[in-house]
Structure 1
Amino acid sequence: MTNVYSFDGILVFGLLFICTCAYLKKVPRLNSWLLSEKKGVWGVFYKAAVIGTRLHIAVALSCLTMAFYIIFLK
């Protein structure tokens, strides 16, 4: 189990946040409610969704690499 205050925990949290926001962008009702703001604190969700959709191959490979690291190496 990863610790939130470790570097591994921060990377896992970031990857899960990006993947979750990219998924929520595909849900129409949540897209208009959560991802409508492009600036400020709520803009972080929009920017994470954009990163997740545009760099979906890199994000998926990063998730697989992190999963392998946590399961087998840690």
Structure 2
Amino acid sequence: MSALFNFQSLLLVLLLLICTSAYAHYVFPGIMDRNRDGVFGIFWKCARIGERLSPYVSICCVAMAISMMASS
């Protein structure tokens, strides 16, 4: 089953995208800041979400981990 058709998997993919983009922006800020527009602008926007809403993102990651443990 694709992640697009399973809501929990879609949320997991979005959380991983946000966390990975925030980490990549921390490690390579010049590359991320150059690509604010276009297709790669999605990663820049996800990095901003991860940086500004980090307490909420971390709570969502813990909640997803608990729900994944409970479902398996």
Q: Same fold (TM over 0.5)?
A: yes
Aligned residue number for residue 66 of structure 1? 64
Structure 2: segments with no counterpart, 5+ residues: none
Per-residue CA deviation, residues 2-38 of structure 1 (Å, 9 max, x unaligned), is 95241111100000000001111111xx322244211
Q: How far is 1:49 from its partner?
A: 0.2
CA distance in 1: counterparts of 2:61 and 2:22, whole angstroms: 14
Identity level (%): 34
CA distance in 2: counterparts of 1:72 and 1:35, whole angstroms: 39
CA distance in 2: counterparts of 1:35 and 1:12, whole angstroms: 25
Assess if the C-alpha contact under 8 Å between 1:21 and 1:52 holds in 2. Answer: yes
Runs of 4+ in 1 over 4 A off after TM superposition: none
Aligned residue number for residue 3 of structure 2? 4
Aligned residue number for residue 42 of structure 1? 40
Secondary structure, aligned partner of 1:33 = helix
Aligned residue number for residue 31 of structure 2? 33
Aligned length: 71
For 1:18, the aligned partner's letter is: I
CA distance in 1: counterparts of 2:23 and 2:33, whole angstroms: 11
Secondary structure, aligned partner of 2:38 = coil
Per the normalisation by structure 1, the TM-score is 0.84
